[in-house]
Amino acid sequence: MIQNADRRMQIYGALLLLPAAVLLATFAYLPTVATLVNSLFLPGFRGEPATFVGLENYQLLIEDDTFWQVARNNLLYALGTIPTSIALALGMALLVNARLPGRGFVRMAYFTPTILPMIAAANIWMFFYAPQIGLFNALLGWLGLPGVNWLGDPGVALGSVIVMTVWKEAGFFMIFYLAALQSIPPELEEASNLEGTSRWSFFWRVTFPLLMPTTLFVLINALINAVRVVDHLFILTKGGPNNATNLLLYYVYENAFSFFDRTYAATITVVILLVLAVVATVKFTVLDRRTHYQ
């Protein structure tokens, strides 16, 4: 009788999981496996079936200078956006957490870019970066300085994209720091004031270590975003000039939907999946020792 009821519970539970399982299988697991499989094929042209070529696509990938450039761009993009936006986010949180006239407005100003779609943010920054009528060059012109081709100069373009991304992301990370700061007991600061600790060393010895879990959490999110979000490239640079701002996921898009090379696109996707797997492993092993899923 009890065993029967238990069995019924199991079946009921499985039925509850069914819709999610079917959808996840269709749009997450199946495409992941298909990506891995497809990276081992060459596309069949004119309706011919795809041919199995083993690791040939990976060979192509290794010999593809553009791929290496794109991978390097993505690394620079991550190194350019992540530490800057985390540092800014922490700074913003510290500023907004203190007594400050007009605190509500300041906090809103920091957070608002987070609410905008990346496409809209890119449109707005286009007004700044555009070569002739852009605001930045107009400002330089008023100062009597020559204009910069912010998005057309291969040496500058990636930097311009990074600056826009930092603007968009910092406020989002700020709210996590702000919440963490507010959970630090005020007695700690009172005690350190009694001891005469300077604010500088209080920050580095007390606040910053206490914020470590938040920093790790934000870092994971920032890493994911660095490989996942390429929307702004569609407006700002389309990966150009000469692939100077091309990022991995945008390169996947180009290969799949502009060059119609589906299997090569799958091969690059595998690289992205590997990066995400590393991030996920770090999260589940290092981070979750602190924050338990219970």
Partner 1 sequence: MNTSIASAARPSRRFSLPRLETVAAWLLAIVWIFPLLYAFWAAFHPSEFMVRFDLLAPLTLENFADAWEQAPFARYYLNTFALVTGVVLAQFVVCTLAGFAFARFPVPGKDILFMLVLIQLFVFPEVLIVENYRIASGLGLVDTITGIGLPYVASAFGIFLLRQTFKTIPRELEDAARIEGCGWMAILLKVYVPLAKPTYLAYGLVSISHHWNNFLWPLVVTNSVESRPLTVGLGVFSAPETGVNWATVSAATLLSIAPLLVAFLLFQRQFVQSFLRAGIR
Which 109-168 positions form the footprint of partner 1 (CB under 8 A)? 109-121, 123-128, 130, 133-135, 138, 167
Handedness of CA 269, 271, 276, 280 (dihedral sign): positive
Task: Give least dist CB 265 to partner 1, A.
Answer: 5
Stretches 48-56, 62-70, 77-85, 173-181: which one binds partner 1 (CB under 8 A)?
Answer: 173-181
What's the token pair of residue 169? 């992301």
- Residues 256 to 275: which contact partner 1 by CB under 8 A? 256-257, 262, 265-266, 269, 272-273
Among 42, 60, 95, 148, binds partner 1 (CB under 8 A): 95
Considering beta carbons, is residue 75 or 224 the nearer one to partner 1?
224
Identify the helix (H) or strand (E) that includes residue 41. Answer: strand 41-42
Q: What is the size of the binding site for partner 1 (CB under 8 A)?
A: 98
Residue type, 137: N
What's the token pair of residue 100? 């400050």
- Compute CA distances 72 → 64, 225, 243, 261, whole Å: 13, 16, 11, 22
Q: Is 207 in the site for partner 1 (CB under 8 A)?
A: no
Q: Is 105 in the site for partner 1 (CB under 8 A)?
A: yes
DSSP letters along 57-107, please?
HHHHHHH-HHHHHHHHHHHHHHHHHHHHHHHHHHHHHHHHHS--TTHHHHH
Q: Is 242 in the site for partner 1 (CB under 8 A)?
A: no
Stretches 49-57, 58-66, 69-77, 224-232: which one binds partner 1 (CB under 8 A)?
Answer: 224-232
- Residues 53 to 82: which contact partner 1 by CB under 8 A? none
Stretches 49-57, 62-70, 78-86, 222-230: which one binds partner 1 (CB under 8 A)?
Answer: 222-230
Quick check: helix, strand or coil at residue 240?
Answer: coil
Task: Give least dist CB 63 to partner 1, A.
Answer: 21
Taking the C-alpha atoms of residue 57 and residue 267, their distance in angstroms, rounded to an integer, is: 7
Site string for partner 1, 9-28 (x = CB under 8 A): xx-xxx-xx-xxxxxx-xxx
Q: Is 172 in the site for partner 1 (CB under 8 A)?
A: yes
Q: Is 184 in the site for partner 1 (CB under 8 A)?
A: no
Q: Is 193 in the site for partner 1 (CB under 8 A)?
A: yes
DSSP letters along 164-215, please?
HHHHHHHHHHHHHHHHHHHTS-HHHHHHHHHHT--HHHHIIIIIHHHTHHHH
Stretches 49-57, 70-78, 154-162, 196-204: which one binds partner 1 (CB under 8 A)?
Answer: 196-204
The answer to whether the peptide bond before residue 241 is cis (omega within 30 degrees of 0) is yes
Task: Give least dist CB 94 to partner 1, A.
Answer: 8
What's the token pair of residue 234? 């569609």
Task: Give least dist CB 192 to partner 1, A.
Answer: 10
